Amino acid sequence: MAATIKDIRAETGLGLATISKYLNGGNVRNENRQKIEEAIKKLDYHPNVTARSLVTKRTRTIGFVVNNIASNFSGVLLQHASAYLHERGYGMMICDSSLSERQEEENIRFCVEKQVDGILMVSSAVDPGFLAPAVKAGIPAVLLDREIKSDAFDCVTIDNSNASERATDYLLGCGHRRIAVIHSEEYTGNERFMGYLASMKKAGVSVPDKYVCSAHIHSTELGYKSMMKLLKLKDRPTAVLTTNYEVSLGVIMALNEQGIGCPEDVSLIGFDELILPMVMRPKLTLVAQPMEEIASEGARILLKRIEEGNSFPPQRVSLYAALKEGESVRRIDVLKN
């Protein structure tokens, strides 16, 4: 016969109110928490989630709607969000939108049907209409990494434009003037492109159209094809800013295939401190997004929104992304550039 909360009471000597508070995610004294956890393990206790949700109106489940689960960036966000939520007694249901806005709409409806307590998401769409089912059901949603065309939702991003501007400033400070950029036309890509343009304008350096490479979404293919195109130019750039991790992968593939040295032939600055900077030699200079902070801050806001509803205004958090100097940018004589 399955163990019950009364069995935990008999094992620990604690009151039902204390045990129930712990099981529902409340704070209890450390010594009591330890007793309860030991009893749960010993008795192999499993709470009746369905019955509990009928009483509390909570499932203690968070839906995570991600635009592309194959992305390394998305995977790291999922890992950090899951760890944060698990520590607070929440599970996570993952829905992959596969870069499809239509699939994203279906994922939101699915989360609503499963009665999740809240939704974290890295979105593909920019129009807020896809979140209508969640709004109607009173389920809060927090956006990570990118914004949509609405100020009504909580959002955690980085200082994309400023971070890209600082990265371009660094290249200019190293003497580069022929600086190309590879970016997507999504929210983050456009923001980072704007930062690049601001830096070049500030330095009084013109940007030829042939130095700007873009596509609808970030991808390894975008990085590879763009770098191959740039390498064919007679006055090819001496430096390239890649605005996404997958783009950087594609660029490195093209350089390796063509036998082009970095930084002696082409200098690089990328985004995201994931696997590539750990294995690439020379070490890549990059803009490091605070991945754990993005995920945990988004989850923190979401849990607060679940507890307090709309008692506080929408949170718009922009985190600082640090520029980490590696060995992929060489200093050159401006007069020879």
**Entry pTM:** 0.82
pLDDT in tens, 295-323: 999 999 999 999 999 999 999 999 999 99
Residue 336 Cα distances to 58, 178, 180, 209, 332, angstroms = 65, 11, 17, 22, 8
Mean pLDDT confidence for 265-294:
90
Whether 56-158+291-319 and 160-289+323-336 share one fold: the answer is yes
pLDDT at residue number 235: 95
Q: What is the pLDDT of residue 47?
A: 67
Angle between helices 30-43 and 5-12 (to 10 degrees): 120
pLDDT of residue 336: 54
Flag the least confident range among 5-14, 102-111, 127-136.
5-14
What gap in Å lies between CA 238 and CA 171, rounded to an integer?
A: 10
Q: What is the pLDDT of residues 7-42, one digit of tens each?
A: 888 888 988 888 878 877 677 888 888 988 898 888
Question: Is pLDDT at 334 greater than 80 in this prediction?
Answer: no
Grade residue 45 by pLDDT with cuts at 50, 70 and 90.
confident
Q: Which structure tokens are listed for 183? A: 């970016």
Reported as a pLDDT band with limits 50, 70 and 90, residue 54 is very low
Percent of the chain with pLDDT over 70: 95
From CA 81, how far away is CA 49, in angstroms rounded? 22
**Structural class in CATH, domain 56-158+291-319:** alpha beta
pLDDT tops 50 at residue 106: yes
CATH number, domain 160-289+323-336: 3.40.50.2300
What integer is the mean pLDDT of 58-83? Answer: 93
**Average of per-residue pLDDT across 204-230:** 96
Helices then strands (H, E): number in the chain? 13, 12
| Six token digits for residue 278 | 């750990």
Residue 263 pLDDT exceeds 70 = yes
- Per DSSP, the residues of 38-83 read HHHHHHT----HHHHHHHHS---EEEEEES-TTSHHHHHHHHHHHH
How big is the CA angle at 197 (ends 74 and 287), to the nearest 5 degrees? 35
In this prediction, residue 159 carries a pLDDT of 96
The two structure tokens encoding residue 163: 């971070």
Q: Which amino acid is at 163?
A: A
Q: Measured between alpha carbons, how far is 255 from 112 in angstroms, rounded to an integer?
A: 46
Total residue length of the chain: 337
Domain ranges of the chain: 5-47, 56-158+291-319, 160-289+323-336
- How large is the average pLDDT for residues 218-222? 94
Mean pLDDT of 239-248: 95
**Structure confidence by residue, pLDDT tens digits, 155-191:** 999 999 999 999 999 999 999 999 999 999 999 999 9
